Amino acid sequence: MGDEYPSLFRSEQMSLVQLIVPTEVAHDTIAELGELGNVQFKDLNPDVNPFQRSFVGEIRRIDEMARRVRFFANEIEKEKDVIPVRPLYDSAPLVTVGPRAAQTIDELDVKLSEHESRLSQMNKSYKDLSDRLKELIEARHVLRETAVFFDRAATREIDVRHSLDDSSAPLLQHDDREQQYSAAGDVQLDLEFVAGTIDRTRLSTFERVLWRMLRGNLYMNYIDIQEPFVDPETGVETRKNVFIIFAHGDLLLSRIRKVASSMGANIYPIDANADKRADSMREVTARLEDLQIVLYNTGANRRTELMTIAESLASWQDVVAKEKLIYETLNLLNYDVRRKTLIAEGWCPTRDIAQIQLALRHATEESGTNVPPILHELRTNRTPPTFTRTNKFTEGFQTIMDAYGIATYQEVNPGLFAVITFPFLFAVMFGDIGHGFIILLAALLMIMFEKKLAKSDLDEIVGTFFFGRYIILLMGIFSIYTGFLYNDIFSKTTHFFHSGWTWPEQHGNGTLTAISNGHTYPFGLDPAWHGAENGLLFTNSYKMKMSIVLGVIHMTFAVCLQVPNHIRLKRFSDIYTNFIPQMIFLQSIFGYLVVCIIYKWTIDWSKASTQPPSLLNMLISMVLSPGSVDPESQLYRGQATVQVILLLAAAVCVPWLLVSKPYLQYKEMQKTHGQGYIGLGADEAPREVEDATLEGEEEGNGRAIVEANDEEHDQHDFSEVVVHQVIHTIEFCLGCVSHTASYLRLWALSLAHAQLSEVLWDMTIANVLEMTGLIGLVAKAVVGVLWLTLTIGILCIMEGLSAFLHALRLHWVEANSKHYEAGGYVCAPSHLRWPVC
Partner 1 sequence: MSSSLPTLFILAIAIALGVIGWFTTRKGPNQTLIRTSILLTLACCYLMWSVTYLAQVHPLESPRRAFVAEQ
Residues that bind partner 1 (CB under 8 A): 1, 4-9, 389, 391, 394, 416-417, 419-421, 424, 428, 478, 481-482, 485, 500-501, 503, 506-516, 518-526, 528-529, 531-535, 537-538, 541-542, 545-546, 549-550, 553, 598, 601-606, 612
CB 425 within 8 A of CB 811: yes
Identify which of residues 19 and 550 has a Cβ nearer to partner 1 in the complex: 550
Measured from the CB of residue 398, what is the shortest distance to partner 1 in angstroms?
11
Nearer to partner 1, 141 or 545 (CB): 545
Q: Shortest gap between Cβ of 816 and partner 1 (angstroms)?
A: 16
DSSP 110-127: HHHHHHHHHHHHHHHHHH
Report how far apart the first and last C-alpha atoms of the chain are (Å, whole number): 35
Taking the complex as a whole, the smallest distance from the CB of residue 667 to partner 1 amounts, in Å, to 38
Helix 745-763, helix 773-790: angle, nearest 10 = 160
Residue placing its CB nearer to partner 1 in the complex, 285 or 614: 614
User: Are the CB atoms for 490 and 438 separated by under 8 Å?
Assistant: no
* Nearest approach, Cβ of residue 430 and partner 1 (Å): 13
> 463 vs 531, which CB is nearer to partner 1?
531
Residue 386 phi, psi dihedral angles, 5° rounding:
-90, 120
- Give dist(CA 621, CA 177) in Å, integer: 126
Q: Given the complex with partner 1, which of 335 and 486 has the nearer CB atom?
A: 486
Q: Give min distance, CB of 36 to partner 1, in A.
A: 16
Q: Can you tell me the distance from the alpha carbon of 435 to that of 423, in angstroms, rounded to the nearest whole number?
A: 14
Strand partners, 253: none
Between CA 797 and CA 790 the distance in angstroms is 10
What minimum distance in Å lies between the beta carbon of 832 and partner 1? 22
Closer of 497 and 663 to partner 1 (Cβ): 497
Task: Check residue 814 and report its DSSP letter.
Answer: I
Shortest Å, Cβ 518 to partner 1: 5
Q: What is the dihedral of CA 779, 780, 783, 785, to 10 degrees?
A: -120
CB of 114 to partner 1, least distance (A): 48
Min separation Cβ 411 and partner 1, Å: 15
**Min. distance of Cβ 766 from partner 1 in angstroms?**
17
Q: Are 291 and 129 in contact (CB under 8 A)?
A: yes
Nearer Cβ to partner 1 (420/781): 420
Least distance in Å: CB of 296 to partner 1? 60
DSSP string, 565-614: HHHHTT-HHHIIIIIHHHHHHHIIIIIHHHHHHHHHHHS-TTTSSSPPPP
Provide the minimum distance between the beta carbon of 775 and partner 1 in the complex, in angstroms, as a whole number: 25
CA–CA distance, 775 with 768 (Å, rounded to integer): 10
**What is the length of the chain?**
837
- Whichever of 500 and 735 has its CB closer to partner 1, that residue is 500
- Shortest separation between residue 629's beta carbon and partner 1, angstroms: 20
Do 409 and 383 form a contact (C-beta atoms < 8 A)? yes
Q: How far apart are the C-alpha atoms of 590 and 739, rounded to whole Å?
A: 11
- Compute the least distance from the CB of residue 509 to partner 1, in Å: 5
**Nearest-angstrom CA–CA distance, 778 and 786:** 12
Cβ proximity to partner 1, 192 vs 758, nearer residue:
758
Q: Do the Cβ atoms of 203 and 245 come closer than 8 Å? A: no
- Cβ 157 vs Cβ 181: under 8 Å: no
Q: C-beta of 413: minimal distance to partner 1 in Å? A: 10
At residue 719, the 3 state secondary structure works out as helix
Nearer to partner 1, 55 or 521 (CB): 521
Cα–Cα distance between 782 and 11 in angstroms, integer? 54
For partner 1, the closer CB: 158 or 561: 561
Q: Give CA–CA dist 113/85, Å, rounded.
A: 19
Minimum CB distance to partner 1 smaller for 256 or for 810: 810
What contacts 435, CB < 8 A, 6 or more positions away? 479, 483, 490, 753, 757, 791, 795, 796, 799, 800
Rounded CA separation 743/752 (Å) = 15
Give the other-Cβ count within 10 Å of 321's Cβ. Answer: 16
> 338: number of CA atoms within 13 Å, CB side?
1
Q: How far is CA 654 from CA 160, 727, 821, in A?
A: 120, 12, 21
**Closest distance of CB 369 from partner 1, Å:** 35
Amino acid at site 440:
L
Would you say 514 or 792 has its CB closer to partner 1? Answer: 514
Return the closest-CA partner of residue 326 out of 835, 706, 826. Answer: 835
Q: Which is nearer to partner 1, 549 or 836 (by Cβ)?
A: 549
Instruction: Answer yes or no: are the C-beta atoms of 811 and 414 closer than 8 Å.
Output: yes
Q: Which is nearer to partner 1, 54 or 487 (CB)?
A: 487
To partner 1, the closest distance from the beta carbon of 121 in angstroms equals 55
CB closer to partner 1 out of 552 and 832:
552
- CB closer to partner 1 out of 549 and 779: 549
Q: How far is the CB of 30 from partner 1 (least distance, A)?
A: 26
Classified as helix, coil or strand, 388 is: coil
What is the torsional sign of CA 146, 147, 150, 155?
Answer: negative
Neighbours of 51 (CB within 10 A): 8
- How far is the C-alpha of 484 from the C-alpha of 487, rounded, in Å? 5
Q: Which is nearer to partner 1, 465 or 501 (CB)?
A: 501
Of 441, 466, 448, nearest in space to 456 by CA: 466
Ramachandran angles phi, psi of 806, nearest 5° = -70, -35
The helix-helix angle for 469-486 and 460-467 (nearest 10°) equals 70
